[in-house]
Structure 1
Amino acid sequence: MIACLRLFTALCLAALLAACASSPSSSLGELPRTPDASLEQLLQQASQTQNPEKAALLRLSAADLAMRQKNDQRAAQILAQVPLDQLKPAQQVFASTLAAELAMNRNDPKAALAALNHPSVSRIGELPNDLQVRTHTVHARALEADGQTLAAARERAAMSPILTGDAANSNNEAIWTLVAALPVDQLRGQSNDVMGGWMSLALAVKSAGTLQDQQNAIDQWRAQNPNHPASIQLPAPLIKLKELASQPLTKIAVLLPQDGQLAAVGKALRDGFMAAHYQAQQAGANPPSIQFYDSSRLTSLDDFYRTAQADGVQLVVGPLEKSLVKQLNARPQLPITTLALNYSDGAQGPAQLFQFGLAAEDEAREVARRARADGLTRAGAMVPKGEWGERVLNAFRQEWVAHGGSIVGIEYIDKPVALAQQVGDLVQLRKSAGEPMQFLFLAATPQQAQQIKPTLNYQYAGDLPVYATSHVFSASGNQDQYKDMNGVRFCETPWLLEPGNPLRQQVAAQWPQAGSSLGRLYAMGVDAYTLTSRLGQLKALPDSRIDGLSGSLSMSPSQHVERQLPWAEFVNGQVQRLPDTPN
């Protein structure tokens, strides 16, 4: 009986080992595969075999199985027992791929890229298709998560030839999403291969202005590239664009207050909006007609929409009042597509509602992006005490922490007499032996900033980088106001940083106040006009951007228009534009 059991055990072991490895086809070595065995059985057999290669294959299979069972910690422990340098190339690729997948599961793209940097991965083309796809996929995911969008697209394009059916279509959609997110300058000078075709398609779509221009560009590209995957099966967002092009916009309602506290804001928005409208007419376009409605006299939103429908309105721009935007956001649907000129604080609203404004939260997120691009990881923060300051701080914190940054100290600006002590407390954090503060995030008025920066100098922290929102800049033209703010970096609208813009010059000649801080509202009005013909495009191409005068505009999944802004720095009282960073 004992002899029979030994024979049975030996046969089981032989079968198990055979199931764990593919037949050796070359010097690359055998590949593990998930056998018909439990995790514990695999590990037991690995510990019992005297053959190091078979033990490694068994452990690779066990680690793979543990990950598939969503036990990543166990998978990592098992993988750590496999001597990578002693494996053959195919096994090294498998182990590196598995390590990268585990790294991505814990949201660590840099560790994933490090794992895939093993020399064996260069031989990926010699391996079975299923492993090639697995390796390329996790590599693309890691590159995308690390902000290397073009490289991620190239990685997906590299595996296109070995994919078929739904897998090929899904991969092509992913390639398009990536190339559509690239800035125009990265799309130029492309090659003539398949990847170059994707990039030339994205460039054609982004370079066209109106929906009809985009449709013409797509049709022309398809005629020139009939055998390209995107020509054979047009990406879904571009199919949506074709549908939008068949629905021209002919009449817009502008709903803004003409009386009350917001009348001046409404007038600046309206003047900017109409300046862009007249510019379009002068350029030979056939823009939609505009009809104005006074939101300050509004008694019922339902009555307004009934009137607008009777007037033939296809798109509403406005309202500006936050209370009205909140009402719209709470509705299940709207009778007419609406671009509100403010943001509600609630969850996503009806599908017909888009929201656009000069949100301080956009600028806080922009500070986080810029500081991260500049290689900084540890921030201190100074924001005004109160609800506004909390909103700005929360927006900065979410963007900053989500990408690995930390906030080592926070001070709330309240009474001027306490500023010196608050700045001093933050400066002490810079001298911390643990994780010292590397820069200060500042959301403050020009008057507050003019006290904070000299106090930093007095505290021997004048070289501490300060990254601020646009609120530190009044655009008053008074250079003396900013002489004590040397080195403070801040984000600002292109309208105020690019005084040579022809439309800005034309508007400022008629309304001189458009050159001051009020110019941000004129810029928003211009961009609101631009958005009227581009909402469908931004929704269909969520990673695309519009270079506006209030910022570079994109759309969030909740249909909020978000802004990224250029940067400037105070130098001897003057504003000096800084080079842009990649999106």
Structure 2
Amino acid sequence: MIACLRPLSALCLAGLLVACSSSPSSNLGELPRTPQASVEQMLQKAGTSQSEDAQLLRLSAADLAAKQGNTERAESILKQVDLQLLKPAQQIYASTLKAELALARNDAKAALQALAHPSLDRLGELPVEQQIRTQLARANALEKDGQLLAAARERVFIAPLLSGDEAQRNQEHIWSLVSNLPAEPAPVADDADLAGWLSLAQVAKTVGTLKQQQDAIDNWLAQHPNHPAAQQLPKALADLRALSSKPLEKIALLLPQEGQLASVSRALRDGFLAAHYQAQQAGEQPPQIQLYDSARLTSLDDFYRQAKADGVQLVIGPLEKNLVTQLGSRAELPITTLALNYADPSAKSPAQLFQFGLAAEDEAREVARRAWADGKRSAVALVPKGDWGDRVLDAFRQSWQAAGGNFLGAEHIDQPVDMAGQVALLLQVNGTSRRQDVDFIFLAATPQQAQQIKPTLAYQYAGDVPVYATSHLFSGSMSAAQYRDLDGIRFCETPWLLNADDPLRQQVDSQWPQAGGSMGRLYAMGVDAFRLAPRLDQLKTLPDSRVEGLSGNLSLNSAQRVERQLPWAQFSNGQVQRLPETNIE
């Protein structure tokens, strides 16, 4: 069977599939066959001949070696084939195989280069099987190259040619691609099927309750009854619709009411209850809250037995690290639990355990994301001495290098008197000059340490080096004079502290003034624990969905840990100036 697809070099889809001639034109050439022979037998038969038959045997041998998983052998054989001696059909076959081998070694650029061969203009004249193979290679190369929309476009285009399991796998892959596109701005597509996929992805990312999200999907289905996704929803959306819509009726809030964590616990509790009260004022029917004192626990098993007897459907807490670690080591939990701290990341936690906290590692990853979006590519770091600084540095370095950034070195700051020397060492200051390959400094520091950074950089001929910091340098209660000492530093921060006009924050501030300072982050976390409670299943079923919180933009990773993406601000002339958001494809 022969079918026509547009040339691979085209970026836009146009027209419908049109049947072509059932036999190739005379100068197109034949595709390699699959003889019943081994790689060695085919190569032996081809010998040193440069005839068309010998070239076809070498192509078949290379293809067989690739199918057997021997990519090095396949590439070695393919190098013996001179594309200039091949006819267009054979050039397409060889270019496709070359792209597949490049993808096997994770070289997307080489794969796309192979698929840019002029012969690909005649792909539509080849049998459907070859068209599918070539187009899938291109889709995979675009995906690995980070061109998600273009990869989705390729897969949407070939979807009508597929059937059975292959069609279903392709459809799930399309969904994975479009759902990983940034939510804003929404991409535009001329093709109706692709446009439908993109709008479905937008619907799935709608922030709201489970029922609101299910209603949004139902509305999409009513508007797109003939779309391929309407015929068979992607598995994630089908699972979402199958989730029980039974409302969450009773929550246990498990926090210590005395001891070292009592003040932290009070802020979390008050933020949680403030959000609960706000929901009541808005006419909602929020779950009933029952308080339990984790400081008086004698046994987690006894607590869960009591909570279950009390009709609890979800546990929020505990806060204590040792209790969360105990939960993380269990095979399963009797009740779904959102812990307000983190267990050991190396442990395999039970399926019923979710974890949420103000992790400094989230902010380190956020710095890497923002700096990369701002076009920075080479970084150095200044972090405090000790375990906390090591964890923050590791999180930044891993995220930065995973994005492709160049990490040039770090210094662990401690005593103020040593800072000038450490900065000089880090920036390789020599006389009146410094290294010029540093795009920015990653800074994790207290407000007092941060106030010394800018004058120290100026002293070390590096006053023009951008500084990206975590929220720890911002107390929310410093004077304009102190802010001027931080002039130019960019930092990530919770929406709670950057948006004093938020109605819930104003309500909380009026009752607990300390919520306007650094303690405000804990009140925000309490609010977000309340907002997360009914949406944990949503976040688990749709990993790309998010909850707009006051401690950050919240999502769930594969370990069921809530991760935060934070907004950005900059110190400017004694004021805190909010920075515009960025998007990364």
TM-score (normalizing by structure 2): 0.88
The residue number in structure 1 matching 2:144 is: 145
The residue number in structure 2 matching 1:427 is: 427
| SS of aligned partner of 2:284 | coil
| SS of aligned partner of 1:485 | coil
Q: Is the 8 A contact 2:184 2:583 kept in 1?
A: no
Q: What pairs up with 1:47-66 in 2 under 5 angstroms?
A: 48-51=48-51, 56-66=55-65
Partner letter of residue 391 of structure 1?
A: R
Partner letter of residue 348 of structure 2?
A: Q
When residues 446 and 45 of structure 1 are mapped into structure 2, their CA distance, relative to the original with a 3 A threshold, is farther
Which stretch of structure 1 is more off in the superposition, 354-363 or 184-193?
184-193
CA distance, structure 2, for counterparts of residue 165 and residue 397 of structure 1: 44
The residue number in structure 2 matching 1:327 is: 326
The residue number in structure 2 matching 1:13 is: none
When residues 123 and 460 of structure 1 are mapped into structure 2, their CA distance, relative to the original with a 3 A threshold, is farther
CA distance, structure 2, for counterparts of residue 310 and residue 488 of structure 1: 53
The residue number in structure 2 matching 1:15 is: none
Deviation at 1:471, TM superposition (A): 1.5
Q: What pairs up with 1:90-109 in 2 under 5 angstroms?
A: 90-109=89-108
| SS of aligned partner of 2:130 | helix
The residue number in structure 2 matching 1:376 is: 376
Which stretch of structure 1 is more off in the superposition, 70-79 or 194-203?
70-79
The residue number in structure 1 matching 2:568 is: 567
Deviation at 1:85, TM superposition (A): 6.1
Partner letter of residue 515 of structure 2?
A: A
CA distance, structure 1, for counterparts of residue 303 and residue 135 of structure 2: 54
The residue number in structure 1 matching 2:208 is: 209
1:442 equivalent in alignment to 2:443: yes
CA distance, structure 2, for counterparts of residue 282 and residue 125 of structure 1: 62
What is the percentage of aligned positions where both structures have the same residue?
Answer: 66
The residue number in structure 1 matching 2:385 is: 385
Instruction: Report how many aligned residue pairs link the two structures.
Output: 560
When residues 168 and 259 of structure 1 are mapped into structure 2, their CA distance, relative to the original with a 3 A threshold, is same
When residues 411 and 122 of structure 1 are mapped into structure 2, their CA distance, relative to the original with a 3 A threshold, is farther
Q: Is the 8 A contact 1:380 1:440 kept in 2?
A: yes
1:462 equivalent in alignment to 2:463: yes
TM-score (normalizing by structure 1): 0.88
Deviation at 1:534, TM superposition (A): 0.7
CA distance, structure 1, for counterparts of residue 46 and residue 352 of structure 2: 60
Q: Is the 8 A contact 1:273 1:528 kept in 2?
A: yes
1:133 equivalent in alignment to 2:132: yes
The residue number in structure 2 matching 1:366 is: 366
RMSD, matched Cα: 2.7
**Which has the larger helix fraction?**
1
Whose RCO is larger (CA < 8 A, sep 6+)? Answer: 2
Deviation at 1:58, TM superposition (A): 4.2
Deviation at 1:229, TM superposition (A): 1.8
The residue number in structure 1 matching 2:9 is: none
| SS of aligned partner of 1:30 | coil
1:497 equivalent in alignment to 2:498: yes
The residue number in structure 1 matching 2:552 is: 551
Which stretch of structure 1 is more off in the superposition, 292-301 or 396-405?
396-405
Q: Is the 8 A contact 2:567 2:581 kept in 1?
A: yes
The residue number in structure 2 matching 1:274 is: 273
1:475 equivalent in alignment to 2:476: yes
| SS of aligned partner of 1:533 | helix
Deviation at 1:139, TM superposition (A): 3.0
Partner letter of residue 552 of structure 1?
A: N
Q: Is the 8 A contact 1:489 1:570 kept in 2?
A: yes
Q: Is the 8 A contact 1:187 1:202 kept in 2?
A: no
Partner letter of residue 476 of structure 2?
A: A
CA distance, structure 1, for counterparts of residue 53 and residue 571 of structure 2: 65
| SS of aligned partner of 2:251 | strand
Partner letter of residue 293 of structure 1?
A: Y
Partner letter of residue 151 of structure 1?
A: A
Partner letter of residue 537 of structure 2?
A: G
Q: Is the 8 A contact 1:23 1:30 kept in 2?
A: no
CA distance, structure 1, for counterparts of residue 434 and residue 98 of structure 2: 35
CA distance, structure 1, for counterparts of residue 573 and residue 111 of structure 2: 45
Partner letter of residue 513 of structure 1?
A: Q
Deviation at 1:324, TM superposition (A): 0.6
The residue number in structure 1 matching 2:154 is: 155
Q: What stretches of structure 1 of length at least 5 have no aligned partner?
A: 1-21
Partner letter of residue 203 of structure 1?
A: Q
Q: Deviations over 1:303-344 (max 9, x none)?
A: 111111111000001111111100100111111000001111
Q: Deviations over 1:219-260 (max 9, x none)?
A: 232233222221111221122212323332111111112211
Q: Deviations over 1:166-222 (max 9, x none)?
A: 111111122222222333334476657111222222223332611112222222322
Q: Deviations over 1:338-378 (max 9, x none)?
A: 00011111422111000011111111112222222233333
CA distance, structure 1, for counterparts of residue 545 and residue 33 of structure 2: 41
Partner letter of residue 359 of structure 1?
A: A
Partner letter of residue 488 of structure 1?
A: I
